[in-house]
Amino acid sequence: MTMPKEDMKAVRLLQGLENGSASVRLQAALAIGTNPDPRLVDKLVERCAVEPEFYVRDALTWALTRHSPSMVIAGLIDEIRESEHAQARSQALHTLSKIGDRRAWPAITRELLTDADDEVARSAWRAAVVLVPEGEKAELAGVLATQFGRGERATRLSLSRALIGLGKVISPVLRAATADPDPRVRQHAIATERLSRDPDAEFDFAIEEAKRIVLLGPESQER
Protein backbone atom coordinates (compact mmCIF):
# COMPACT_ATOMS: atom_id res chain seq x y z
CA MET A 1 0.00 0.00 0.00
CA THR A 2 1.38 3.38 -1.05
CA MET A 3 1.98 5.88 1.73
CA PRO A 4 -0.05 9.11 1.34
CA LYS A 5 1.95 12.02 -0.08
CA GLU A 6 1.65 14.11 3.08
CA ASP A 7 2.87 11.20 5.21
CA MET A 8 5.87 10.72 2.93
CA LYS A 9 6.69 14.41 3.25
CA ALA A 10 6.48 14.22 7.06
CA VAL A 11 8.82 11.21 7.10
CA ARG A 12 11.36 13.04 4.92
CA LEU A 13 11.26 16.07 7.22
CA LEU A 14 11.72 13.90 10.29
CA GLN A 15 14.70 12.27 8.65
CA GLY A 16 16.01 15.71 7.74
CA LEU A 17 15.99 16.79 11.38
CA GLU A 18 18.25 13.83 12.18
CA ASN A 19 20.62 14.32 9.23
CA GLY A 20 24.34 14.59 9.90
CA SER A 21 24.51 17.83 7.93
CA ALA A 22 23.58 20.99 9.83
CA SER A 23 22.42 22.66 6.62
CA VAL A 24 20.00 19.79 5.93
CA ARG A 25 18.66 19.98 9.50
CA LEU A 26 18.24 23.74 9.08
CA GLN A 27 16.29 23.34 5.86
CA ALA A 28 14.05 20.71 7.46
CA ALA A 29 13.27 23.01 10.40
CA LEU A 30 12.52 25.92 8.08
CA ALA A 31 10.28 23.74 5.92
CA ILE A 32 8.29 22.62 8.96
CA GLY A 33 7.88 26.20 10.11
CA THR A 34 6.77 27.30 6.66
CA ASN A 35 4.11 24.59 6.52
CA PRO A 36 3.28 23.68 10.13
CA ASP A 37 2.37 20.07 10.81
CA PRO A 38 1.12 19.15 14.32
CA ARG A 39 2.48 15.64 13.88
CA LEU A 40 6.02 17.02 13.94
CA VAL A 41 5.77 19.15 17.10
CA ASP A 42 7.06 16.46 19.47
CA LYS A 43 10.05 15.83 17.23
CA LEU A 44 10.87 19.55 17.09
CA VAL A 45 10.85 19.74 20.89
CA GLU A 46 12.94 16.59 21.12
CA ARG A 47 15.46 17.91 18.62
CA CYS A 48 15.84 21.22 20.49
CA ALA A 49 17.27 19.26 23.41
CA VAL A 50 20.17 17.79 21.45
CA GLU A 51 20.79 20.05 18.43
CA PRO A 52 24.43 21.24 18.64
CA GLU A 53 24.20 24.21 16.25
CA PHE A 54 22.80 27.47 17.59
CA TYR A 55 21.34 28.62 14.28
CA VAL A 56 19.56 25.31 13.80
CA ARG A 57 18.14 25.50 17.34
CA ASP A 58 16.91 28.99 16.50
CA ALA A 59 15.12 27.62 13.44
CA LEU A 60 13.61 24.81 15.52
CA THR A 61 12.25 27.37 17.97
CA TRP A 62 10.86 29.43 15.10
CA ALA A 63 9.16 26.34 13.68
CA LEU A 64 7.55 25.65 17.05
CA THR A 65 6.24 29.21 17.28
CA ARG A 66 4.52 28.70 13.94
CA HIS A 67 2.25 26.06 15.49
CA SER A 68 -0.70 26.71 17.76
CA PRO A 69 0.52 27.34 21.34
CA SER A 70 -1.96 24.77 22.63
CA MET A 71 -0.07 22.13 20.63
CA VAL A 72 3.36 23.18 21.85
CA ILE A 73 3.28 24.48 25.42
CA ALA A 74 2.65 21.18 27.20
CA GLY A 75 5.67 19.52 25.61
CA LEU A 76 7.93 22.45 26.44
CA ILE A 77 6.76 22.47 30.05
CA ASP A 78 7.51 18.75 30.29
CA GLU A 79 11.04 19.50 29.10
CA ILE A 80 11.73 22.16 31.72
CA ARG A 81 10.21 20.08 34.51
CA GLU A 82 11.60 16.66 33.69
CA SER A 83 14.73 16.89 31.57
CA GLU A 84 18.10 16.44 33.25
CA HIS A 85 19.83 18.15 30.32
CA ALA A 86 20.56 21.86 30.63
CA GLN A 87 20.19 22.50 26.89
CA ALA A 88 16.74 20.93 26.86
CA ARG A 89 15.56 23.15 29.71
CA SER A 90 17.23 26.27 28.35
CA GLN A 91 15.87 25.89 24.82
CA ALA A 92 12.38 25.05 26.06
CA LEU A 93 12.39 28.20 28.19
CA HIS A 94 13.69 30.24 25.26
CA THR A 95 10.88 28.90 23.07
CA LEU A 96 8.26 29.70 25.70
CA SER A 97 9.56 33.26 25.81
CA LYS A 98 9.13 33.51 22.04
CA ILE A 99 5.61 32.10 22.13
CA GLY A 100 4.68 34.51 24.93
CA ASP A 101 1.59 32.63 26.10
CA ARG A 102 1.02 33.37 29.80
CA ARG A 103 -0.56 29.98 30.38
CA ALA A 104 3.05 28.82 30.75
CA TRP A 105 3.78 31.20 33.64
CA PRO A 106 3.16 28.65 36.46
CA ALA A 107 5.99 26.53 35.06
CA ILE A 108 8.55 29.29 35.73
CA THR A 109 9.56 28.24 39.21
CA ARG A 110 12.04 29.69 41.67
CA GLU A 111 14.18 26.61 41.06
CA LEU A 112 14.47 27.50 37.37
CA LEU A 113 15.16 31.17 38.11
CA THR A 114 18.04 30.13 40.37
CA ASP A 115 19.21 27.10 38.36
CA ALA A 116 22.89 26.33 38.82
CA ASP A 117 23.41 26.34 35.05
CA ASP A 118 23.86 29.92 33.84
CA GLU A 119 22.23 29.30 30.45
CA VAL A 120 19.15 27.76 32.03
CA ALA A 121 18.87 30.61 34.53
CA ARG A 122 19.32 33.27 31.84
CA SER A 123 16.63 31.66 29.69
CA ALA A 124 14.34 31.46 32.71
CA TRP A 125 14.86 35.16 33.47
CA ARG A 126 13.97 36.15 29.92
CA ALA A 127 10.92 33.91 29.85
CA ALA A 128 9.75 35.13 33.24
CA VAL A 129 9.78 38.78 32.20
CA VAL A 130 7.67 37.96 29.15
CA LEU A 131 5.18 35.70 30.93
CA VAL A 132 4.77 37.21 34.41
CA PRO A 133 1.32 38.62 35.24
CA GLU A 134 1.29 42.27 36.28
CA GLY A 135 0.40 41.46 39.88
CA GLU A 136 3.37 39.13 40.34
CA LYS A 137 6.13 41.37 39.01
CA ALA A 138 7.26 42.57 42.44
CA GLU A 139 7.62 39.01 43.72
CA LEU A 140 9.56 38.05 40.59
CA ALA A 141 11.86 41.05 41.09
CA GLY A 142 12.59 39.80 44.59
CA VAL A 143 13.61 36.38 43.32
CA LEU A 144 15.77 37.83 40.54
CA ALA A 145 17.49 40.12 43.02
CA THR A 146 18.85 37.07 44.83
CA GLN A 147 21.01 36.50 41.74
CA PHE A 148 22.85 39.84 41.88
CA GLY A 149 26.59 39.35 41.55
CA ARG A 150 26.23 35.99 39.86
CA GLY A 151 28.47 34.81 37.03
CA GLU A 152 30.42 36.61 34.37
CA ARG A 153 29.53 39.60 32.20
CA ALA A 154 26.92 37.91 29.98
CA THR A 155 25.05 36.47 32.95
CA ARG A 156 25.09 39.72 34.89
CA LEU A 157 23.94 41.71 31.87
CA SER A 158 21.08 39.26 31.28
CA LEU A 159 19.94 39.67 34.87
CA SER A 160 20.12 43.46 34.66
CA ARG A 161 18.06 43.50 31.46
CA ALA A 162 15.48 41.14 32.95
CA LEU A 163 15.05 43.30 36.04
CA ILE A 164 14.84 46.50 34.01
CA GLY A 165 12.17 44.85 31.89
CA LEU A 166 9.95 44.60 34.97
CA GLY A 167 9.73 48.37 35.29
CA LYS A 168 9.30 50.45 38.44
CA VAL A 169 8.64 47.49 40.73
CA ILE A 170 12.40 46.86 40.91
CA SER A 171 13.13 50.06 42.88
CA PRO A 172 12.85 48.48 46.37
CA VAL A 173 15.05 45.50 45.52
CA LEU A 174 17.65 47.76 43.91
CA ARG A 175 17.79 49.93 47.03
CA ALA A 176 18.21 46.89 49.23
CA ALA A 177 20.90 45.36 47.02
CA THR A 178 22.98 48.56 46.93
CA ALA A 179 23.40 48.15 50.70
CA ASP A 180 24.31 44.45 50.55
CA PRO A 181 27.53 43.48 52.38
CA ASP A 182 28.79 41.62 49.30
CA PRO A 183 30.61 44.12 47.04
CA ARG A 184 29.77 42.12 43.89
CA VAL A 185 26.09 42.39 44.72
CA ARG A 186 26.37 46.13 45.37
CA GLN A 187 28.29 46.70 42.15
CA HIS A 188 25.79 44.76 40.08
CA ALA A 189 22.82 46.52 41.66
CA ILE A 190 24.33 49.97 41.12
CA ALA A 191 25.16 49.13 37.50
CA THR A 192 21.58 47.92 36.97
CA GLU A 193 20.21 51.13 38.44
CA ARG A 194 22.44 53.12 36.06
CA LEU A 195 21.18 51.13 33.07
CA SER A 196 17.57 51.57 34.16
CA ARG A 197 18.03 55.35 33.96
CA ASP A 198 20.11 55.27 30.79
CA PRO A 199 19.31 52.21 28.64
CA ASP A 200 21.88 53.31 26.05
CA ALA A 201 24.73 53.24 28.56
CA GLU A 202 27.44 50.62 28.13
CA PHE A 203 27.16 47.82 30.69
CA ASP A 204 30.93 47.62 31.13
CA PHE A 205 31.10 51.35 31.86
CA ALA A 206 28.22 51.01 34.33
CA ILE A 207 30.03 48.18 36.13
CA GLU A 208 33.28 50.14 36.35
CA GLU A 209 31.41 53.17 37.67
CA ALA A 210 29.65 50.93 40.19
CA LYS A 211 33.00 49.53 41.35
CA ARG A 212 34.25 53.06 41.95
CA ILE A 213 31.15 53.91 43.98
CA VAL A 214 31.48 50.74 46.06
CA LEU A 215 35.17 51.44 46.68
CA LEU A 216 34.91 55.15 47.47
CA GLY A 217 31.42 55.25 48.95
CA PRO A 218 28.11 56.82 47.82
CA GLU A 219 29.48 60.32 48.19
CA SER A 220 31.70 59.66 45.15
CA GLN A 221 28.60 59.91 42.96
CA GLU A 222 28.55 63.64 43.52
CA ARG A 223 32.10 64.24 42.28
Burial of 102 (0-12, 13-18, 19+ CB in 10 A): exposed
CATH homologous superfamily of 31-131 equals: Leucine-rich Repeat Variant (1.25.10.10)
Q: Cα–Cα distance between 185 and 176 in angstroms, integer?
A: 10
> What are the domain boundaries of the chain?
31-131, 136-223
In tens digits, the chain (223 residues) has pLDDT values of 455 667 888 999 999 999 999 999 999 999 999 999 999 999 999 999 999 999 999 999 999 999 999 999 999 999 999 999 999 999 999 999 999 999 999 999 999 999 999 999 999 999 999 999 999 999 999 999 999 999 999 999 999 999 999 999 999 999 999 999 999 999 999 999 988 888 776 666 666 766 666 665 654 444 4
pTM to 2 decimal places: 0.88
> What does the radius of gyration of the chain's CA atoms come to, in whole angstroms?
21
